[in-house]
Structures are given as structure tokens and as C-alpha cells.
């Protein structure tokens, strides 16, 4: 199952993300977030990935973030989203991780038993700022399974291996 893309979609062309206004500033801040399962286990199925898409949309809407794209694989998920500069990245990640973990684990108790875990996501995460909003590059990177070999590098880093 390694390298398999279970689900992917993009809501809006990234190049069309416009400047937003707040009371004191204008902004256009986009992030590429990567959430990992504990110990990079392949726990996400097609059914769970479909549920995750809906949950990601609900969370981001509720919290005031804008979700532009998602790519879900068996052991991690990529999210492209926009947020206000005042939103703290660890808080964004926490909001998304906690809610998806709570809902998915409650709906799929078999995951807890099979993998002996309490949460769907690891504490570790990846983040990249998307300053140039080069839609083609971003989509190509997310959909290119060879680029997902970076996951091996992250796994070695997080587990302390060289």
C-alpha cells in the first residue's frame, strides 16, 4: 500500500487566492501541512480518507482557515490551507489533528485495537509556507509519488535514525 494516494482534491486554483483584508493589515498566507500517523503506520483506508476530507473541510471552515487542497495517503495527509497571519501554526495543526483524531477514532474503534494507539496523528508534523503559490509545482509535488520518498527522510529524523 506504500505510495498509494487514497484521496486528493483541490477546491480552487491556488493562483487565484486573493489578498485578504483585516482591520490592520492585508495578507495572503498559505501553508502546506503534513500530518503523520504514529510511527508512520499505514492506517488510513479509502473509507477513512473520504471521511477525513469532510472533517478537514468542517474544521477549517469553523476555525476560519481556508482549505484549498488535500492529498491523503495511508500513513500521512497533506493539506494546503490559508490562514490569517495572527493564526499560530502549532494551533492550526492542533485544531486539525485533535478533531480529526477524535472523530475518526470514535467511528473506527478497530484502529485503536489493531494498532494499539489512542490518537490518529503523531505529534510530529511538517509545514511549508507557499509564498509563490505556484499551483503547478505544488500539485505536481503532492501528486508525484517519488517525492513522497521524503517521508522516509522525515521518519529517520523523527525516530532519531541517521
The pLDDT assigned to 66 comes to 87
User: What is each CA distance from 29 to 4, 57, 93, 99, 157, in whole angstroms?
Assistant: 29, 18, 15, 23, 27
Please, which residues have CB within 8 angstroms of residue 125's CB and are 6 or more apart in sequence? 33, 34, 35, 36, 93, 97
The pLDDT assigned to 152 comes to 57
For residue 100 the three cell numbers come to 480529526
The pLDDT assigned to 26 comes to 82
The pLDDT assigned to 1 comes to 41
Domains of the chain and any CATH numbers: 7-159 (3.30.70.1290)
Q: Which residue stretches of the chain have pLDDT < 70?
A: 1-17, 131-162
| Upper half-sphere CA count for residue 56 (Cβ side, 13 Å) | 27
Instruction: Report yes or no on whether pTM surpasses 0.85.
Output: no
CB–CB of 52/58 below 8 Å?
no
| Upper half-sphere CA count for residue 77 (Cβ side, 13 Å) | 33
The pLDDT assigned to 101 comes to 94
The pLDDT assigned to 59 comes to 94
Outline where 64-131 has alpha helix (H). Answer: 89-107, 109-115
The pLDDT assigned to 136 comes to 63
Amino acid at each position: 500500500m506504500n505510495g498509494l494516494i487514497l484521496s486528493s482534491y483541490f477546491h480552487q486554483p491556488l493562483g487565484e487566492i486573493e489578498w485578504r483584508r483585516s482591520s490592520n493589515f492585508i495578507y495572503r498566507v498559505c501553508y502546506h501541512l503534513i500530518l503523520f500517523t504514529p510511527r508512520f503506520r499505514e492506517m488510513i483506508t479509502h473509507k477513512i480518507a473520504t471521511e477525513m476530507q469532510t472533517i478537514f473541510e468542517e474544521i477549517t471552515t469553523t476555525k476560519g482557515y481556508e482549505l484549498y487542497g488535500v492529498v491523503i495517503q495511508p500513513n500521512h495527509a497533506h493539506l494546503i490551507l490559508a490562514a490569517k497571519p495572527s493564526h499560530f501554526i502549532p494551533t492550526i495543526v492542533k485544531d486539525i489533528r485533535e478533531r480529526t483524531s477524535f472523530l475518526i477514532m470514535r467511528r473506527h474503534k478497530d484502529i485503536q485495537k489493531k494498532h494499539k494507539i489512542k490518537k490518529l496523528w503523531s505529534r510530529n508534523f511538517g509545514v511549508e509556507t507557499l509564498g509563490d503559490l505556484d499551483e503547478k509545482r505544488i500539485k505536481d509535488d503532492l501528486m508525484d509519488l517519488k517525492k513522497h520518498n521524503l517521508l522516509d527522510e522525515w521518519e529517520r529524523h523523527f525516530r532519531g535514525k541517521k
